Structure 1
Amino acid sequence: MAFLEISHLEKSFGANRVVKDFNLDVDKGEFISLLGPSGCGKTTVLRMVAGFENPSSGAIRIGGTDLVGKRPNQRNIGMVFQAYALFPNLTVAENVGFGLKIKGAPRAEIDRRVAEMLALIGLPDLGGRYPFQLSGGQQQRVALARALAPKPQVLLLDEPLSALDAKVRVSLRNEIRAIQRELGITTIFVTHDQEEALSISDRIVVMNGGIADQVGTPFEIYNRPSTRFVAHFVGQLNVFSTDGAGNLAGVQLGAGRDFAARPEALHLGRAPGTDIVLPARISEVHFLGSVIRLTADAAGARVSLDTFNRPDVPPPAIGTDVELSLSSRDLIPLG
């Protein structure tokens, strides 16, 4: 039996069904990301698990106990919000210890736990500061420590990194994952950023229109998308047609079907092991450091391919005629 079970969860606001028959089993200690565009229902699912929204129907169980109908403070769940939600009139230490104080924990226990949490988030000497004296990344670390201090059964994170700049965001997401692994806490992380979800999740739930379109590991979601939406939403995609007018006309893959390939599946020139060759002309060159992304016009289609930077081999110039190759094994069928 899964540690966290979400069964046939539905939520409607008036006539608008925002979550539709959502089902998910989460093992103890697993890190799950809910990934999808704005308005897909991912935050509503999180808020129902937390107890801030009541489901229209369905069940939410932790350790076999149904939480529906219980107040948020009865669920032993920690939550970190996008906007930090720290108390501005309390010090860092008082913010971290707030949940324990509400529960009536002894002062010595609160002090000990606060010290543990501040050490865990790498801010052991900042307990006496106030939130306005901290950077955005530091404030979000404090919010994480506050959520973890009461030792919750489940940790929920609602787009906790979206307000931070790119470098801090990458650093903090890795810290969150390291802390989650160290504590072994079951975690659900909401994001619209596919790179975040792919980089730190055990499994990803890709949501679309209130429905879980696909649930799988990052490897499965990226390489074997089960729906057209997932294929287009996660990563960049080149779409090929095999009908008479398509850019893979004559390739024996099933007439009338569309197929997709990731940019890294295409190669400059005739690479070993490939069985599809397309004449092309380079139209764009983007140097991204270790990777060079090329855009080319191939048989009436605009395609992208990624190559690794090699200091001794400059990329082809715009306007250069080239051949692109790929293997039919790397094509993703689109339903």
Structure 2
Amino acid sequence: MSFLTMTHLEKIFGQNRVVKDFSLSVEKGEFISLLGPSGCGKTTVLRMVAGFESPSAGGITIDGKDVTGLKANSRNIGMMFQAYALFPNMTVADNVAFGLKVKGAPKAERDARVAEMLALIGLADLGGRFPFQLSGGQQQRVALARALAPRPSVLLLDEPLSALDAKVRVSLRNQIRQIQQELGITTIFVTHDQEEAMSISDRIVVMNGGVADQVGAPFEIYNRPRTRFVANFVGTLNTFEVEVADPASGRVMLAGQGLTLPDAPLAARAGETLSVALRPEALRLGRLPDAEALLTAKVTDVHFMGSVIRLKADLAGAAVSLDTFNRPDTPPPVVGSEVEVSLSGRDFILLQA
């Protein structure tokens, strides 16, 4: 039985249906990311789980208990917000102890738990400081410790890293994941940043217009998106139009060359056109022995990104991005040059509506 279950959740504000028939089962200790653009409903789902919003329809259970009608302070939820929301007139230690104090925990227990939490987040020596004396990353770590101190059954994170600079954001997201795994706490993380979601999640829920477009592991979401929205929102995508040659076998034609798609049989007739896509790393420079097709592309731009070089090129009538690893002994192609590109049908993504 799942630890956290959301069943047919709906949320309506006036005439606006923000969340539509949303269902999700989360296992104990699982890290789930709700990923999507602004206004897609991800934060509203999180707020319904927290008890800050009441569902217009549907239900929520935690550890077998129906919490749909319970107030937020009766759900044993830990919450970490985008804004640090620390009490400015309290020390770091007092901020972390706040939830325990509200629960009536004895002082000795509070002090021991605060020391444990500050050690966990690597700020054991800063308990006596005030929030204004900390960096943004340190403040957010204190907010995490405060959320975890009362031993919640579920941890909810509402875009907690978006106010931080890039380097601190990467470091803190890795620390959040490490702590979550160490404690084994069931976690839901809301973000609009695909890299964040891909790097730390067990599963990702890609939301679009109040609906869960796809739920799956990061590998599945990236490599086998089920809808055009997911394919375009997660990662960079090159799109092509191909002509169906043999629907039964998945055989199609691109720029006069045959490819076999992995989605056979195709839901189309011979001669019809389908939209397909390739990730930049699936377009491979040079003549490779396992390629099904070999096309010529004209390089229009070159971006050196350290370990990866991203080429922009014209290929089969489409403007494409192509990623290749940097090799110190092999300079990248120059703008205006022509290069051979190897393609394999197994790498193509068939785009649905």
TM-score (norm 2): 0.93
CA offsets 1:264-309 (integer angstroms, 9 cap, x no match): 0011121221112221110010000000001101132101111000
Aligned residue among 281, 285, 305 for 1:264:
281
| Matches for 1:161-310 after TM superposition, within 5 Å | 161-243=161-243, 248-250=254-256, 251=258, 255-310=272-327
Is 1:130 matched with 2:130? yes
**Structure 1 match to 2:339:** 322
After TM superposition, the structure 1 stretch with the greater mean CA deviation from structure 2, 319-328 or 251-260, is 251-260
Q: CA deviation at 1:331?
A: 0.3
Please give the alpha-carbon distance, in whole angstroms, between the structure 1 residues aligned to 2:49 and 2:75.
Answer: 9
Matched residue type, 1:232: N
Q: CA contact under 8 A between 2:259 and 2:293: conserved in structure 1?
A: no
Q: CA contact under 8 A between 2:259 and 2:344: conserved in structure 1?
A: no
**Structure 2 match to 1:89:** 89
**Structure 2 match to 1:30:** 30
Q: CA contact under 8 A between 1:247 and 1:301: conserved in structure 2?
A: no
Shift of the 247–138 alpha-carbon distance from structure 1 to 2, 3 Å rule, reads farther
CA offsets 1:93-133 (integer angstroms, 9 cap, x no match): 00000000011110000000000000000000000000000
CA offsets 1:12-44 (integer angstroms, 9 cap, x no match): 001100000000000000000000000000000
Please give the alpha-carbon distance, in whole angstroms, between the structure 2 residues aligned to 1:302 and 1:30.
Answer: 40
CA offsets 1:176-232 (integer angstroms, 9 cap, x no match): 000000000000000000000000000000000000000000000000001110000
Q: CA contact under 8 A between 1:268 and 1:325: conserved in structure 2?
A: yes
Please give the alpha-carbon distance, in whole angstroms, between the structure 1 residues aligned to 2:189 and 2:349.
Answer: 28
Please give the alpha-carbon distance, in whole angstroms, between the structure 1 residues aligned to 2:63 and 2:18.
Answer: 27
Q: CA deviation at 1:324?
A: 1.1
Q: SS in structure 2 opposite 1:97?
A: helix
Matched residue type, 1:262: R
Matched residue type, 1:62: I
CA offsets 1:299-327 (integer angstroms, 9 cap, x no match): 32101111000000000000001111110
Q: CA deviation at 1:243?
A: 3.9
Please give the alpha-carbon distance, in whole angstroms, between the structure 2 residues aligned to 1:183 and 1:63.
Answer: 17
Identity %: 75
Q: CA contact under 8 A between 1:247 and 1:299: conserved in structure 2?
A: no
Please give the alpha-carbon distance, in whole angstroms, between the structure 2 residues aligned to 1:15 and 1:308.
Answer: 50
Q: SS in structure 2 opposite 1:164?
A: coil
Matched residue type, 2:341: L
Please give the alpha-carbon distance, in whole angstroms, between the structure 2 residues aligned to 1:171 and 1:154.
Answer: 23
Matched residue type, 1:248: L
Please give the alpha-carbon distance, in whole angstroms, between the structure 2 residues aligned to 1:86 and 1:247.
Answer: 59
Q: CA deviation at 1:144?
A: 0.1
Please give the alpha-carbon distance, in whole angstroms, between the structure 1 residues aligned to 2:318 and 2:217.
Answer: 31
- Uncovered stretches (5+) of structure 2, i.e. residues with no partner: 245-251, 261-269
Matched residue type, 2:157: L
- Uncovered stretches (5+) of structure 1, i.e. residues with no partner: none
Is 1:102 matched with 2:102? yes
Q: CA contact under 8 A between 1:42 and 1:207: conserved in structure 2?
A: yes
Please give the alpha-carbon distance, in whole angstroms, between the structure 2 residues aligned to 1:247 and 1:17.
Answer: 42
Q: SS in structure 1 opposite 2:68?
A: coil
Please give the alpha-carbon distance, in whole angstroms, between the structure 2 residues aligned to 1:202 and 1:179.
Answer: 14
**Structure 2 match to 1:61:** 61
Q: CA deviation at 1:252?
A: 5.2
After TM superposition, the structure 1 stretch with the greater mean CA deviation from structure 2, 272-281 or 58-67, is 272-281
CA offsets 1:158-186 (integer angstroms, 9 cap, x no match): 00000000000000000000000000000
Give the aligned length: 334
Please give the alpha-carbon distance, in whole angstroms, between the structure 2 residues aligned to 1:268 and 1:42.
Answer: 39
Q: CA contact under 8 A between 2:253 and 2:259: conserved in structure 1?
A: no
Please give the alpha-carbon distance, in whole angstroms, between the structure 2 residues aligned to 1:167 and 1:224.
Answer: 30
Q: CA contact under 8 A between 2:259 and 2:345: conserved in structure 1?
A: no
CA offsets 1:41-66 (integer angstroms, 9 cap, x no match): 00000000000001001000001111
Please give the alpha-carbon distance, in whole angstroms, between the structure 2 residues aligned to 1:95 and 1:300.
Answer: 59
Q: SS in structure 1 opposite 2:38?
A: coil
**Structure 2 match to 1:79:** 79
TM-score (norm 1): 0.98
CA RMSD after TM alignment: 1.3
